[in-house]
Structures are given as C-alpha cells and as structure tokens.
Amino acid sequence: MKYDIHTAWLRLTATVDAAHAPRPHGNMERHKLYDNIDGTGEMFMGLMLLGFALLGYLQAILPEHSIWRTNMFASLLFMYAVLILVLGPGYLLRRVIKKHITWPRTGYVAGHSLWRLMLAPRLAGREAAPGVPTRKGLWYTMLALGFVAAIVAAGLACLVAFERRHFGAMTGLAGVGADIWVLYLAHGKGTPVEMAVIALHGAGASRNWSHRFRQFYRGGAVGDVLRWRCVGHLRLGYSVFIHPAHLPARC
C-alpha cells in the first residue's frame, strides 16, 4: 500500500479511498474515488446532525401542550418537515459544489444505477463484470438495507412505546447509529488516530444514553455538527488544492 500525504489525510478523516485500497480491480473502481473527493458527504452528515439538533431544540422550546409535542403523528410530521427544510438545501448545496467546484477540477463521472449494477446482471444470468458488485455484494447490500430498516423500525417502535419521555435514549440510538457508520468507514484502518476517534464516539454515545436530550444537544450534537462540517470543508479545501482548475476541455 502506498503511503503519502494524500493517503495519510484520507486515513485521518477515516474515509474509504478506492484508489489506495488493495483491490483486485482497482482500475475498474477508480471512479468511486470521485464520489466523495470533495468532502460533501461529511458536510451533508454535519447538516443532518444539525437537523437533529434543531429538531431537539424546537421540541424543547415548544409549549408543553402543543400538538407538535403531544400527538405522535404531528411529531413525526414536524420531524420530517424540519429535516427536509435542513437537508433539502444541503442536497442542493452538494449539487452546486459538485457542479461549480469539483467537476471543473476532477472531471465529471457518473456510476451506473443500482439496477444496472446489481439486479440486471443477476436477472439476465450473466457473470458480473469487473467493477460491478458480485452476488456477495448484493447480499451485503440487502443485509445493510435490512439493518437500516430494522433501526428505523426500532426507532419508530420506541417512539410509539415511550413517546417523548425517553427521547434522550432515542438520540442516544442515533449516536450509536453514527458510531456504526464511523466504524464502517474506519474498517480495516487501525491507526491510533482512528481508534481515538472511534473511542471518543463511543464515549459520546454512552453519554447520550444516560442524559436527557437537552444535555445531548447542548454539547454533543453541536460538537458533532462542527466536527463533520469542519472535516467536510477541510476535505473540499484539500481537494481544490490538489486539483487545479482546468480550462474547459475542447476536443
């Protein structure tokens, strides 16, 4: 494996880098390197946490007998409205960054749809092409989707069972979910820095379990938002630094 400043940076930010990972079809998976070369993924994660923090704050300041707090369906509607209001502009911002900053520097590349990558070759009974996920990959994806569905179902079940009395525990669950994601990103990259980051995440999640949501949002979420946003912006800055803007391609 090649070690240079680029690799070190990617390891520090616990981001999977297809180009540096030892893979049998490295060239065939090169385009994956471009998926999050600009840190927009981290920025989006930061925005998502901001959405949750805002949601918690608004829930806390709403009047005690407000319909948005007492009625479960109204609470869900409120949650979706707040998240869409925060994540919608975030998605648009991601598109703008890609279009005006990333693609003019790195070039534009679009992968195939999930249908084309996984299901169509299976249904057609063809051998998967290099760079295309195999049957094992399909199973892993289904497993991951099932896991996410189980988490969402568990969250909704908690909401129904405990309502807002145990909202702190639910935010803790969200913290654990974020930890699992970080563990996935850091998988196979056992450097001391990443281990420290994971340990901090674990400590944060356990703290979230034991405190009510106001404490969680006062300290933990704000720190998480800032951390993800900072990592995203630094990564974007680094990407702009190593990829000088090209003149428009004329061929």
In angstroms, the CA 25 to CA 31 distance is 12
Cβ contact 58:164 at 8 Å: no
- In angstroms, give the least distance from the CB of 118 to other proteins: 13
30 or 227: CB nearest other proteins: 30
- In angstroms, give the least distance from the CB of 16 to other proteins: 17
Residues 6+ apart with CB under 8 A from 232: 39, 40, 41, 42, 43, 44, 45, 46
- In angstroms, give the least distance from the CB of 125 to other proteins: 15
Name the DSSP class of 251.
-
Going by C-alpha positions, the residue among 228, 188, 242 that lies closest to residue 37 is 242
Residues 6+ apart with CB under 8 A from 139: none
- Binding site residues, other proteins, CB under 8 A: 27-31, 34, 99, 103-104, 106-113, 116, 129-132, 243, 246, 248-251
35 or 179: CB nearest other proteins: 35
28 or 230: CB nearest other proteins: 28
- In angstroms, give the least distance from the CB of 248 to other proteins: 5
104 or 202: CB nearest other proteins: 104
